[in-house]
């Protein structure tokens, strides 16, 4: 019964619109083979969008924090969590002159996608003027997963197709869905399968509506485990993810990945060097990710601004079959917020801080970052146990 229901869901929601049968002969036996016929509506656009985001020396600025999380950021500099203050901060980020030199895409929260500057210019148009692709967070957040080891699952598939169609009309061209896997909690087979299946369904629905899906099963830094354990879990998770992406007929050339770097747990007694993190992370990727995927845009996951940049640079010291880049939130915004402090007279200085961090990661994407001249603030870790947003 469960299999029948799953088949109906797959058929109803998939981006594939039919099947064509042909006869395949092998020796004296004959069998029928069904081949999916793919809808061509967005194929070329999806591939082009993914390539545009995965362009040399550029990465993604993630400012898709929920209103509650954005409020926490504002509170850190003494501002109230109001729409006016959220708009002011995001306007500072999205109107930074020259941002498009290092940033190719920006992930927005739904509120921001529909907002304009105080002068009435749509934020999506501000991005387009800098040749930055607008993106949108489409998941509805994490909730407890019944039957698991205190783990969670990501909700948001209900109504996703209609929401995605509206986001496309508003100017979004890629989407983001974050689910998480916790190593201290196991992770259980149930949690891994739920994460992989949810990501695959989201990816298929997104492509069906013209949005390039960012596939993000974040393996949380929480724990005191060694780096080898992280590698083991990451390989299992990504194996499952790509199995279900294939099962859902997702176009690999039209997706982007947002993995965690393979690091020891945040509470492990020994820290790993950028070279070690690069070695383990690239080992995992080469074992699990097809070269058809155009871009791998790493999350920072609570690393300091400096750590995130150094680790990315180390991964780009050799050629990779994919564009290996960044999709950072706190690792691009921390210095910006502390420079701005909510004061209009600090906007220009805050925008320069954003450009400096974006440029540093641009150089890291090219494997040319030296780390010279970094501030003490950039070296401060931002790990938060059990972080949610």
Q: What is the CA radius of gyration of the chain?
A: 21
d(CA 156, CA 179): 11
d(CA 116, CA 108): 13
Both ends of the chain: CA-CA distance in Å? 36
Contact at 8 Å (CB) between 155 and 143? yes
Contact at 8 Å (CB) between 137 and 108? yes
d(CA 266, CA 263): 8
DSSP output for 35-92: EEEEP-SSHHHHHHHHHHHT-TT-EEEEE---HHHHHHHHHTTT----HHHHHHHHHH
Phi, psi of 206 (to 5 degrees): -60, -50
Q: Which of 110, 194, 216, 240 is catalytic?
A: 216
Q: Which of 110, 176, 194, 258 is catalytic?
A: 258
Q: Is 216 a catalytic residue?
A: yes
| Count of all residues that appear for the chain in the document | 389
Query: Can you list the alpha helix ranges (DSSP code H) found in the chain?
Result: 2-13, 43-53, 67-75, 83-94, 110-113, 123-129, 160-170, 189-208, 227-247, 274-288, 305-315, 330-340, 347-365
Give me the active site residues, please: 216, 258
């Amino acid at each position: 019964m469960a299999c029948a229901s799953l088949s109906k869901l797959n058929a109803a929601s998939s981006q594939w619109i039919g099947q064509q049968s042909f006869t395949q002969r092998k020796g004296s036996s004959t069998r029928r083979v069904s081949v999916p016929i793919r809808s061509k509506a967005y194929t070329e656009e999806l591939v082009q969008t993914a390539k545009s985001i995965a362009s040399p020396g550029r990465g993604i600025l993630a400012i898709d924090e929920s209103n509650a999380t954005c409020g926490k950021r504002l509170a850190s500099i003494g501002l109230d969590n109001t729409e006016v203050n959220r708009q002011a901060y995001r306007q500072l980020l999205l109107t930074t002159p020259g941002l498009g030199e290092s940033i190719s895409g920006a992930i927005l929260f739904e509120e921001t996608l529909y907002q304009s500057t105080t002068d009435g210019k749509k934020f999506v148009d501000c991005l387009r003027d800098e040749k930055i692709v607008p993106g949108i967070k489409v998941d509805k957040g994490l909730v407890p997963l019944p039957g698991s080891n205190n783990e969670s699952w990501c909700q948001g598939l209900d109504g996703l197709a209609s929401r995605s169609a509206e986001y496309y009309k508003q100017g979004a061209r890629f989407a983001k869905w974050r689910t998480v896997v916790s190593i201290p909690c196991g992770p259980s087979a149930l949690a891994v399968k739920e994460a992989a299946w949810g990501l695959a369904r989201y990816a298929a629905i997104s492509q069906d509506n013209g949005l390039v899906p960012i596939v993000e099963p974040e393996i949380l830094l929480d724990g005191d485990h060694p780096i080898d354990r992280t590698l083991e879990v990451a390989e299992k998770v990504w194996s499952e993810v790509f199995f279900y992406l294939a099962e859902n007929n997702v176009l690999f050339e039209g997706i982007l990945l947002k993995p965690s770097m393979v690091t020891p747990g945040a509470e492990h007694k020994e820290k790993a060097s950028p070279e070690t993190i690069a070695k383990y992370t690239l080992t995992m990727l080469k074992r699990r990710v097809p070269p058809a995927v155009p871009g791998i845009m790493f999350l920072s996951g609570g690393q300091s601004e400096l750590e995130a940049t150094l680790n990315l640079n180390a991964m780009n010291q050799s050629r990779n079959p994919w564009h290996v880049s960044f999709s950072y939130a706190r690792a691009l915004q921390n210095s910006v917020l502390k420079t701005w402090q909510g004061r209009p007279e600090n906007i220009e200085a805050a925008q320069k801080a954003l450009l400096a961090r974006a440029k540093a990661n641009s150089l890291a994407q090219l494997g040319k970052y030296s780390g010279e001249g970094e501030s003490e603030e950039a070296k401060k870790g931002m790990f938060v146990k059990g972080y949610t947003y």
